[in-house]
Amino acid sequence: MDSLKEDREDVKLLTAWVSPYGMRAMIGLAEKGIKYEYVEQNLRDKSPLLLQMNPIHKKVPVLIHNGNPISESLIVLQYIDNVWNSPHTAFLPSHPYDRAIALFWADFADKKVCFPGLETFRTKGEVQEAAKCEFLQNLAILEGELKGKNYFGGDRFGLVDIALTPFTSWFHAFESLGRFKIHLEEKFPNIWAWKKRCLERDSVKKTLPNPEKVLVTATEIRKRRLGEI
Ligand code: GS8
């Protein structure tokens, strides 16, 4: 039955290896055991397929399921969870209130931690300083939220964990290019332990790139953005 199901499914992922948002989709698909075609995108020269599949944002990731495109990584994750749903691999809790809370934290992580995190390496001056403050302050909120828990939702690896773990592979780039220290182990011990726990999962282990490699690409992105090359 399972192989029949796989034969009927046509799943493609348009992404870029360094994209933490794309990594979310990769971890989600791996957690569900879905086979898919990985289609690397050059974000400096966008393919006609990417522009056709995500004409509004023109960003990766885009999941293409049986020809139908789904974009925006948190929406992609919810789609994956809904389509390949099983009680053992659910990314979201079943109770409506618990679901709402998980979505709240995924949204918080997205807007208040991931975005300012990215701003720490690709901006300069006051904007960069403000991004560093915002990132560290909001990381502290997540540190509190993780207290006494293995994962953000409790004992199960779920949506918030998938949304956040990819960004930990960027922390080294944030620190080096932002010229600041996160002091994860000392100041954020719950997040430190959580990160190690997430990295033990096959889905995460095989998805997250080497932080040194991320730094090389992040350095190029910064130079291009700030007009330094
Ligand atoms: C963000 C995707 C994104 O920024 C999501 O999927 O959750 N809210 C979206 N993708 C970047 C690559 S990772 O930084 C991207 O595609 N950038 C191309 C561009 O901005 O032109």
pLDDT digits (tens, 9 = 90+) for 23-40: 999 999 999 999 999 999
Judge whether 91 lies within some domain: no
Task: Find the largest Cα–Cα distance for the chain.
Answer: 58
Alpha-carbon distance of 49 to 222, in angstroms, equals: 26
What pLDDT is recorded for position 87?
86
Do 215 and 111 have their domain in common?
A: yes
What pLDDT is recorded for position 8?
67
What pLDDT is recorded for position 174?
98
CATH number where 55 lies? 3.40.30.10
Q: Do 93 and 158 contact (CB within 8 A), yes or no?
A: yes
- Please measure the distance between the N-terminal and C-terminal CA atoms of the chain and give it in whole angstroms: 54
- Which residue puts its alpha carbon closest to atom 18 of ligand 1? 59
Query: What contacts 8, CB < 8 A, 6 or more positions away?
Result: none
Q: Tell me the CA–centroid distance for residue 21 and ligand 1, in Å.
A: 7
Boundary residue ending a domain (41, 56, 83): 83
pLDDT, tens digit, 9 for 90 and up, residues 118-127: 999 999 999 9
Boundary residue ending a domain (37, 57, 83): 83
Q: Do 109 and 142 contact (CB within 8 A), yes or no?
A: yes
Boundary residue ending a domain (83, 114, 147): 83
pLDDT, tens digit, 9 for 90 and up, residues 179-206: 999 999 999 999 999 999 999 999 999 9
Judge whether 116 lies within some domain: yes
pLDDT, tens digit, 9 for 90 and up, residues 201-217: 999 999 999 999 999 99
Judge whether 184 lies within some domain: yes
Average pLDDT over residues 59-81: 98
CATH number where 173 lies? 1.20.1050.10
The residue segments making up the domain with residue 7 are: 2-83
Judge whether 90 lies within some domain: no
Judge whether 121 lies within some domain: yes
Query: What contacts 157, CB < 8 A, 6 or more positions away?
Result: 31, 151, 198, 201
Q: Tell me the CA–centroid distance for residue 19 and ligand 1, in Å.
A: 7
Ligand 1 pocket, 15 CB below 6 A?
Answer: no
Do 77 and 105 have their domain in common?
A: no
Judge whether 88 lies within some domain: no
- Of 15, 17, 18, 21, the one to substitute when testing ligand 1's pocket (max ligand atoms within 8 A of C-beta) is 21
DSSP secondary structure code for residue 209 in this structure: P
Residue whose structure tokens are 């502290």: 140
**What are the backbone angles phi and psi of residue 62, rounded to the nearest 5°?**
-130, 125
pTM: 0.96
For the chain, the domain total comes to: 2
Q: Do 91 and 83 contact (CB within 8 A), yes or no?
A: no
Amino acid at 138: N
Strand pairing class (37-40; 11-15): parallel
Q: Do 177 and 131 contact (CB within 8 A), yes or no?
A: no
Judge whether 76 lies within some domain: yes
Average pLDDT, rounded, for the chain: 95
Average pLDDT over residues 50-74: 98
Q: Phi/psi zone of residue 33: left (φ > 0), alpha (ψ -120 to 50 degrees), beta?
A: left
Alpha-carbon distance of 151 to 145, in angstroms, equals: 10
Residue whose structure tokens are 């990417």: 50
Average pLDDT over residues 65-90: 96
What pLDDT is recorded for position 190?
98
